[in-house]
Amino acid sequence: MASKRTSRKRRRKRRAPREEDAAVRADAITRGYSRSRAKEEQARAALKPLRPGERPTAVTVGAVAATLLSIANLVALGFGYDASEDAVSPGSDFTGSVIAAVILAVVAYGMWKARYWGVLGMQTLLALTLVFASLSLITAQSLWAALLLLIIIAAAGTLFWFLVKAMARIQMPERPGSQRTS
């Protein structure tokens, strides 16, 4: 037994990192970082800035969806839909519906005007929707509920994905000599 312990200690000593190994690893990390930066620069160069008044398709789809959801929320409230019956926690269904409708309307306005904050707000709402729908899928009580949640996850995830590139185009710096009004 003692001989095995001795040989393990010797192997550990042989494997100890040397200064040359650290330098080689640092060099590899630097090369990897440089390649990554080059890919990022290439992707940025491929993006075309928005023309004045232009709005990416994904942003338009998001603005229309937010508007429709805001209106649907108010219509449901007008017809007396009581969300507190379906919810776990009690609360004012009127206040919650109005706040949700206002938030969706503000996000829809910002996206319609192709503002970065509007798209970022929509992505925040989509991310929350994805998280809550995924967690709700765990406790789905019927096949219909599970299917509906999967459709919501697919739609929200797809829109989220397409809004990423749109956000990059919206936040692009202006080209020299171009005039854009905010």
- Which tens digit of pLDDT belongs to each residue from 64-82? 999 999 999 889 888 877 6
User: Which region, left, alpha or beta, applies to residue 50 given φ > 0 means left and ψ of -120 to 50 means alpha?
Assistant: beta
36 within a domain of the structure (yes/no): no
Give alpha helix (H) positions in the chain. 2-15, 19-46, 57-78, 83-86, 93-112, 116-138, 143-170
Distance between CA atoms of 37 and 31, rounded to whole angstroms? 10
Return the pLDDT at 165. Answer: 85
Q: For 105-134, what is the mean pLDDT?
A: 94
Please name which of 163, 177, 173, 181 lies closest in space to residue 49, comparing C-alpha atoms.
173
**Does the pLDDT of residue 45 top 60, yes or no?**
yes
Domain limits at 68?
Answer: 57-170
101 within a domain of the structure (yes/no): yes
Q: For 118-136, what is the mean pLDDT?
A: 95
Return the pLDDT at 144. Answer: 95
Number of domains comprising the chain: 1
Neighbours of 121 (CB within 10 A): 20
* Nearest-10 crossing angle of helices 143-170, 116-138: 160
118 within a domain of the structure (yes/no): yes
33 within a domain of the structure (yes/no): no
Distance between CA atoms of 119 and 122, rounded to whole angstroms? 5
114 within a domain of the structure (yes/no): yes
Return the pLDDT at 63. Answer: 95
Return the pLDDT at 182. Answer: 46
150 within a domain of the structure (yes/no): yes
Please name which of 109, 98, 117 lies closest in space to residue 63, comparing C-alpha atoms.
109
49 within a domain of the structure (yes/no): no
Contact 174, 180 (CB under 8 A): yes
155 within a domain of the structure (yes/no): yes
Q: For 28-40, what is the mean pLDDT?
A: 74
pTM to 2 decimal places: 0.66
